[in-house]
């Protein structure tokens, strides 16, 4: 069985885990620990347990452009809806401001 020697931090980065999660995984799986000369513990991780570069395809710009354009279109719609809502709120505020600033006798008459 081939192994690769990694620190806890390197293991966490390679697997996309937090440092504490990597420590628990090493303990749970019983992987060997070796103290290094740099005062860091090295873990003997089986190569099969590490993701290969081929597991996750790299996103190409051509794949992400349509997705980003859809998100931009959705955000533009949201922006326009919020703009209309703000304009309606401003009109309502102005209407109430006019009512509040009328003389008291005019407010009674209307």
| Model pLDDT for residues 18-58, shown as the tens digit of each residue | 999 999 999 999 999 999 888 899 999 998 888 876 555 55
Per-residue pLDDT band for 65 (boundaries 50, 70, 90) equals confident
**In total, how many domains does the chain have?**
2
Rg (CA), the chain: 31
Residue 22 lies inside a defined structural domain of this protein? yes
Work out the pLDDT band at 71, boundaries 50, 70, 90.
Answer: very high
**How many C-beta atoms lie closer than 10 Å to residue 44's C-beta?**
14
Q: How confident is the model at residue 61 (pLDDT cuts 50, 70, 90)?
A: low
Query: How high does pLDDT run on average in the chain?
Result: 87
**Domain residue limits at 74:** 61-109
CATH of the domain at 40: 3.90.105
The CA distances from residue 101 to 88, 91, 95, 106, 109, in Å, are 20, 15, 10, 10, 14
Residue 80 lies in a domain: yes
Backbone angles phi, psi at 8, to 5 degrees: -60, -40
Please indicate, yes or no, if residue 28 is contained in any of the structural domains.
yes
C-alpha 101 chain-centroid distance: 48
* Lowest-confidence region among 37-41, 72-76, 103-107: 103-107
């Amino acid at each position: 069985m081939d192994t690769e020697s990694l620190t806890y931090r390197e293991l966490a980065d390679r697997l996309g885990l937090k440092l504490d999660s990597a420590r628990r995984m090493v303990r749970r799986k019983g992987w060997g620990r070796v103290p290094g000369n740099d005062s860091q513990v090295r873990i003997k991780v089986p190569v099969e347990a590490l993701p290969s570069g081929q597991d996750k395809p790299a996103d190409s710009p051509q794949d992400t452009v349509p997705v980003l354009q859809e998100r931009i279109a959705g955000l533009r719609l949201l922006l326009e809806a919020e703009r209309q809502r703000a304009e309606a709120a401003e009109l309502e505020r102005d209407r109430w401001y006019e009512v509040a600033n009328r003389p008291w006798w005019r407010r009674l008459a209307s």
